[in-house]
Structure 1
């Protein structure tokens, strides 16, 4: 049986983003191994049919522990005699490609889930990550990019082949075929009748930029809305206190980590996503799957999913006035919300998991 190794920095990558790829590999008859730092491991990994290999990789490119991790990864590759590797994450991609070169693995696939250098990125990101990615592309048989900006840049690198695959896909059926009483769900969430529900999904971190949405909502007057935020993170207390400072604490609900995201999306009316940086955001595709209009930042990834003024609005992530203006427009126009939502529910079909899995099947068949 042929063997393939998936490499990432953290093990949650495998159940969050690689389940579809693993299913494709298994269907092609591969024994699937997965190498990562398993210090974050939980029971969700048990649902995957993989053989685990721990190595002490760290996210930071400056960590000296990665020297040891590189040696560990080489030993894993030597002992198992893999036919191919598929690596992910910046440091996972660096160590895996170097180790594959050193051990003579003939087929190397790398997925860039959003280069750390992009339009608007800091100079330090360009100085650190750009030269490394460009150099290691020469050790890459297939470089997969998940948005068009990265694809255009990667075509100038030295990988044997550069492919655009739009993300990991979204299970549109999971969102469209949910059996739920929308009004009952809204009542369960404590939402009064005839209230417009705004929704954001994302970690409470600076990159997700929840602050812009909160400040925009604070400027709205005489509007009947509730804003739901699903996610956890280090800024949770700060954002909760911010709602009090802005005087909107009674209109904002922090729901934390949720297992009922499809139901919450169906219970909502508008999706807000003012993030500073994305690869290709799954949460936006999920919101599109249930037919929500989107107001989001005009950044890489988002601009692939949304046509401005068609399925929603694209704005500078710090344009508080712009977010306020378009939130107000959608709050006051139910028909516009519905028409934009219908467009999104059709547009998202090209990002369905079945489409992505077929693209990945073709890549594996042609390159391993």
Structure 2
């Protein structure tokens, strides 16, 4: 009997962004790789792609149909491992896989940042906490990606068979890495920026959580001190137009570039001097890890995901409580000190190489996967 693994998530771009190296690894182990998610991307290393109408909100009626379709897929395939990602992918995958789990299919779930955490809205605790705690009973391995979530799952007695912690999904250091001054200049010319521009960069969807307004307000405070500053904001989203209006009202519209959705994030990071991040809640932010891999210092709003990555005075600073004045002061300090930027950036890069590269995460994940790879013949005969 052939060996199969199913990856389940809300949207298929989650796989494209984070999981292709793990698809490839399973193929190398002789597995057929299946995916279940909403979306029509053509994904490499996938043998069978199941398109199902999963929605992000737990209150959408389409999720009832998605559950039925996913249950049919799971019941009619002998998956050895099912690995669920994203909140709704995790909910539907584990509910739909109950019968399969009784047949010894192993159920893994990666929590990419619990929606309930210190400082999260009460509604998040009321909605998501009881769901995650109850579904932990249907989970063979709960994988957390930051220390706070790991400790919460242990302390709150989540009853998964195993609870573990790995450092995220990994950063491709072949793509994201520091460049020489000459290469940086070449890339700046290509993208119409000047050598003496001081470029700050943030890539994120424009929504309430990502909180780009903080960056705009802080940027307006550095105008007199850093006259050559530029703020690059990549991404789109529901609050994009509102942020453009705010930039104009603050008098900084000519120094803020709203770049829209981009596929050249690696090059944009390589032309930058500093990465900034304003989000209110993060699990373990890939955008910050990519910036660190490119050797950038980080100034970020204080939250559990940023605390995992940024150490004050070592590779950047954390800003408490949406304090735009403090953020601006740190930017001014770095803008005028190339040596400090270089030192902090080197620390960022070394941290990624040591703990967060795709190579390191693949090593950690493959150990977890091997734990649940019961021999196919043993599964057929019920021997384990």
- 1:279 deviation in Å? 1.1
Matching of residues 179-218 of structure 1 within 5 Å: 181-218=183-220
Native 8 Å contact 2:178 2:293 kept in 1: no
Q: Does 1:258 align with 2:262?
A: yes
Give structure 1 stretches of 5+ with no counterpart.
none
- 1:317 deviation in Å? 5.0
User: Which residue is 1:88 aligned to?
Assistant: 85
Q: Scaled by the length of structure 1, what TM-score is found?
A: 0.95
TM-superposition CA deviations, 1:127-165 (whole Å, max 9, x none): 111111111111110000111111111123101101101
In 2, Cα distance between equivalents of 1:323 and 1:113: 27
User: Which residue is 1:35 aligned to?
Assistant: 36
In 1, Cα distance between equivalents of 2:257 and 2:149: 35
Matching of residues 150-165 of structure 1 within 5 Å: 150-155=149-154, 156-165=157-166
Of 339, 346, 361 in structure 1, the residue corresponding to residue 366 of structure 2 is 361
In 1, Cα distance between equivalents of 2:344 and 2:93: 43
- 1:110 deviation in Å? 0.5
In 2, Cα distance between equivalents of 1:173 and 1:46: 20
Native 8 Å contact 2:10 2:86 kept in 1: yes
User: Which residue is 2:48 aligned to?
Assistant: 51
User: Which residue is 1:146 aligned to?
Assistant: 145
Q: Does 1:124 align with 2:123?
A: yes
Runs (4+) of structure 1 exceeding 6 A deviation are 177-180
Give structure 2 stretches of 5+ with no counterpart.
374-384
Q: Does 1:334 align with 2:331?
A: no
SS of the residue corresponding to residue 22 of structure 1 reads helix
User: Which residue is 1:97 aligned to?
Assistant: 94
- 1:321 deviation in Å? 1.0
Matching of residues 283-302 of structure 1 within 5 Å: 283-302=287-306
Native 8 Å contact 1:278 1:300 kept in 2: yes
- 1:64 deviation in Å? 2.8
Native 8 Å contact 1:143 1:162 kept in 2: yes
User: Which residue is 2:376 aligned to?
Assistant: none
User: Which residue is 1:275 aligned to?
Assistant: 279
User: Which residue is 2:379 aligned to?
Assistant: none
Q: Does 1:172 align with 2:173?
A: yes
Native 8 Å contact 1:172 1:289 kept in 2: yes
SS of the residue corresponding to residue 172 of structure 1 reads coil
Of 218, 222, 225 in structure 1, the residue corresponding to residue 225 of structure 2 is 222
User: Which residue is 2:308 aligned to?
Assistant: 304
- 1:284 deviation in Å? 0.7
In 1, Cα distance between equivalents of 2:93 and 2:142: 13
Query: How many residues end up aligned between the 2 structures?
Result: 364
